[in-house]
Amino acid sequence: MGLVVQKYGGSSVADAEGIKRVAKRIVDAKKNGHQVVVVVSAMGDTTDELIDLAEQVSPIPAGREFDMLLTAGERISMALLAMAIKNLGHEAQSFTGSQAGVITDSVHNKARIIDVTPGRIRTALDEGNIAIVAGFQGVSQDKKDITTLGRGGSDTTAVALAAALDAEVCEIYTDVDGVFTADPRVVKKAKKIDWISFEDMLELAASGSKVLLHRCVEYARRYNIPIHVRSSFSGLQGTWVSNEPQGERKVEQAIISGVAHDTSEAKITVVGVPDKPGEAAAIFRAVADAEINIDMIVQNVSAASTGLTDISFTLPKAEGRKAIDALERAKGAIGFESLRYDDQIGKISLVGAGMKTNPGVTASFFQALSDAGVNIELISTSEIRISVVTRADDVNEAVTAVHTAFGLDSDSDEAVVYGGTGR
Ligand code: ASP
Ligand code: MG
């Protein structure tokens, strides 16, 4: 039996009862002969509460102090979990990200892990302890300041430790039974996926599926760490995310892995752009200089009479204001007529490597949307994904319709959501 890394999300350790329940699970893994490293998130909505508090004190909380504050959430849960395990008669020690050797760059609030040196974790394990590590945090290499990895970053901590410790598997415990063919909160007939490739999982995460963060899957693929996403509320097998199906679990890759949706984006239309070389470059340079990541882009054919065209793109709603300001400032230089901002949009994506070799997927996707009376505003594709932008109000209906059209509906049990937050 080897080493396992288990990660428990905030909804799994939301209160004392939850912590005790999780402690039992961890002890069971240890009793089964594993060396166990646990990564834990802050209890319930602690992180959100700390953010609220910071905003009450200052409208723009500073990066360094903000990280100091937020990492307190994970310190609370790690210490309580270690106590609960000791209470069950087993040895446990908790470690901050810094103590666990999680070294990051110095970009506060969204630091990247650049190295993991888990010497103290190894020692703790060799001495027979269960090691508990605070997720979502590290220490910067140059300034030795405490950093955080961005919201939901505990998953990445878990995968990074699993890679550094050469773990057999990284188990991510959450409040649903695994990765589903659609968000089970929206599509009641969503089916649990037994196995999904890193490739498809990355695309689902990039398309708005919240069960695993993109960065965490990227890391797991780079170091080839199998992830097992499962519920801490049930004993069921969850979803394996890996290069190849695991051992005896001979599951065939589905043509379509799932339907993801995202209502966190907005659309900006730059109206009346002169149709000449360099215009798109100038627009997207202005947006990039404001450090904004964009998603889809469409440019219309210019009207022959005016020589003007429109360019639309989508971006996170949270960056909307910043993008508009940046473009307004560059308006004179770029020479467009006006800007339109729309945050009542939603994105629906169909994902599956099988679409590379199965003709007609795109046509069926559009047919399903048309049958549901959903109007399409933008379209973008990759080799294994088709995405459309629609009205936000249409998203739930569209996801459900597409899910049914591709035969993904389950005919047995409805998907169970045990917690509330999906983390
Ligand atoms: N507690 C942090 C958050 O809520 C990190 C995590 O849960 O992964 O974003
Ligand atoms: Mg959390």
Q: Write out the DSSP string of 318-379.
A: GGHHHHHHHHHHHHHHH---EEEEE--EEEEEEE-GGGGT-TTHHHHHHHHHHHTTPPP-EE
Domains of the chain, first to last: 3-175 (3.40.1160.10)
| pLDDT band at 305; cut points 50, 70, 90 | confident
Mutation probe of ligand 1 site: the residue of 6, 113, 133, 136 with most atoms within 8 A of C-beta:
136
Q: What is the pLDDT of residue 64?
A: 95
Rounded-to-integer distance, Cα 408 and Cα 377, Å: 25
Rounded-to-integer distance, Cα 180 and Cα 400, Å: 13
| pLDDT band at 302; cut points 50, 70, 90 | confident
What is the CB neighbour count within 10 angstroms for residue 266? 21
Which tens digit of pLDDT belongs to each residue from 213-261? 999 999 999 999 999 999 988 889 999 999 988 655 566 667 899 999 9
Nearest protein Cα to ligand 1, atom 8:
152
pLDDT over threshold 70, residue 335 = yes
240 ligand 1 Cβ < 6 A: no
Rounded-to-integer distance, Cα 183 and Cα 398, Å: 13
Phi-psi category of 340—alpha, beta or left, where left has phi over 0 and alpha has psi -120 to 50? beta
Which tens digit of pLDDT belongs to each residue from 399-418? 999 999 999 999 876 666 66
Rounded-to-integer distance, Cα 387 and Cα 380, Å: 5
154 ligand 1 Cβ < 6 A: yes
Q: For residue 157, give the ligand 1 atom closest to its CA.
A: 8
- CA of 152 from ligand 1 middle (Å) equals 4
Secondary structure letter of residue 302 according to DSSP: P
